[in-house]
Structure 1
Amino acid sequence: MRRPALRAGHFAVPVAALLALAPQPGLAQGRPDITTMTCAAAAGLVARSGAVVMTTGPGTYARIVRDAGFCTIETSTRPDFEAARDDPRCFVGYACVDPFSEGRDGP
């Protein structure tokens, strides 16, 4: 049984459709910016999502988690306080930390 010959442009529509579904850098969602959120809104986002990477200032960000279940097994948590729009020391959740290297200057 002989396969039909493929013509030029035969895959043009499917390839175009696949390219349209591919992630586009310009369409990526930005991180939530805690400095523009109220403390309650930021804490609520972490509580609902479990783990969120948030912008914490110009050029800085942090991964904030609801509980230790969102950290790797060898890490623990410490309370994370960030500057929200209405509270300069807002408790938003926890940061995952390595208990064996936390506070050290190097390996």
Structure 2
Amino acid sequence: MRRLEHHDPRLDPGDISAAFMTWRRRAFGPYRWLTAPCEYFEYDYLYFGPPPRDILEFALHRVPRKSASELRRLLEPIDRRFLERTLPDPHAPPGPWWHRRCSTGILS
């Protein structure tokens, strides 16, 4: 992971770890951190940078197979928790599954 961060100009040192921790906090943290209500909104990449799950997916496709497998294993319970606490967003444009989710309205 460090090698990818060092050699890819789109990443800075620590980006993958920070994205992982942010994604984990979002999935397991307070409900308000999950995602927006089921109303499409434009994510401001210039202001906020890429969403944490986007960074992790980017890494999954660029690290060696063994590292990707380990990262997938670590992401599995986080992704599952996020899916449990969100609903499909009928208004979302096509894109990765985590961009097409919205809050359920259930506090958990």
TM-score, structure 1 as length reference:
0.22
> Which has the higher Rg, Structure 1 or Structure 2?
1
Higher share in helix: 2
Higher relative contact order (CA 8 A, sep 6+): 2
TM-score, structure 2 as length reference:
0.22
